[in-house]
Amino acid sequence: MGRPPHERDSLDVRVVGGDDQRLGGMGWRRLVDSAWNPDDVLWCVWRIRQREEAATGKGGGMNIGNVGLPKWPAMVVVGENVTKEQAAEIIIRTGCWPLSLNDKQWETLCNEVIGLADGHGIECGESVWDKNDAILKSIGVLELEYLHNNQVGSCWIGGPHGWCHWNGVIFSSNSNIGKWPSAGGVLLEWQTIAEAFPFLSLRCQLMDREAGEDGPHHPLVEYAVSGGNAEAVEPKAVLAPPVDDVLSNIHGLLSPGRERGCTEDVLRWAINLVKAVEDAPK
């Protein structure tokens, strides 16, 4: 038998990935508790669905409850540029930490600079997860699954990427958002991002096919982010055509340091900046 509801409320639910992530926009979870059982897992999945349904009800100008997205929808983001300092804060706080790269030297360095313990996956143990999560929470890193900015390092074929760039440009058109997202789950993440960075002003569209797929792309849902708020609106014209960079990405595989998105000095500056912002009186 599972835990009573008042105890379940305190369970820590986190992403662990999985082959089939159609549990909702946030995917599979693990319970960070040694005494979890299937009843607790099902209860947490139900709570996840409740949050996504609540987001659906806040869809603004569009009812996103019936929006069906493909397995790997192309994502386009167009927005107003931000300062380099704001970009650095966004990149660190929306990063996918700890880094896991083929470039182990860069992976180790980046994780050590931010203060994370070494280890990835289930085999690294609960104590490592807990320590890392505490560190990430202390500097305001957001819990995201689909809207990360992987600009510090990435083993993706195209290397570092994301919707926010180190120079302050807010734009992306060459990647898919991720596997089996839900429109409500993505809205929840944009709402989280909007609250964290109220200076952001952007629009995001999810398409009816992958970025590299042949044929015209049609937006199925659009998100408008500004003034600390995010809502779903009916898409009209395509914000920007998704780009297929497969050939250039393949050529880039031979480039040394292709998984590195910045220098060590830039990374240390960005992390110190974020720590200063988080430590400043609110």
Question: pLDDT tens digits, residue range 209-234?
Answer: 987 787 789 999 999 999 999 999 99
Q: Tell me the CB-side half-sphere exposure of residue 34, using CA atoms within 13 A.
A: 4
d(CA 177, CA 74): 6
Q: Is 119 inside any structural domain?
A: yes
Output 18 or 120, whichever has higher pLDDT: 120
- 96-125 confidence digits (pLDDT tens): 999 999 999 999 999 999 999 765 544 555
pLDDT at 93 over 90: yes
Q: Is 194 inside any structural domain?
A: yes
Mean pLDDT of 250-269: 84
Q: Is 92 inside any structural domain?
A: yes
Q: Is 62 inside any structural domain?
A: no
Q: Please count the structural domains in the chain.
A: 2
Mean pLDDT of 236-265: 80
pLDDT at 28 over 60: no
pLDDT at 12 over 60: no
Residues 6+ apart with CB under 8 A from 248: none
**Residues 42 and 96 occupy one common structural domain:** no
Q: Mean pLDDT in the chain?
A: 79
Q: Which tokens belong to 98? A: 């700890």
Domain of residue 32 covers: 5-57
Mean pLDDT of 21-45: 43
d(CA 144, CA 15): 9
**Residues 134 and 256 occupy one common structural domain:** yes
Q: Is 67 inside any structural domain?
A: no
Q: What angle do CA 246, 248, 253 make, to 5 degrees?
A: 95
What pLDDT shows up at residue 62? 76
Q: Give residue 278's pLDDT band: very low, low, confident or very high (50, 70, 90).
A: confident
**Residues 50 and 126 occupy one common structural domain:** no
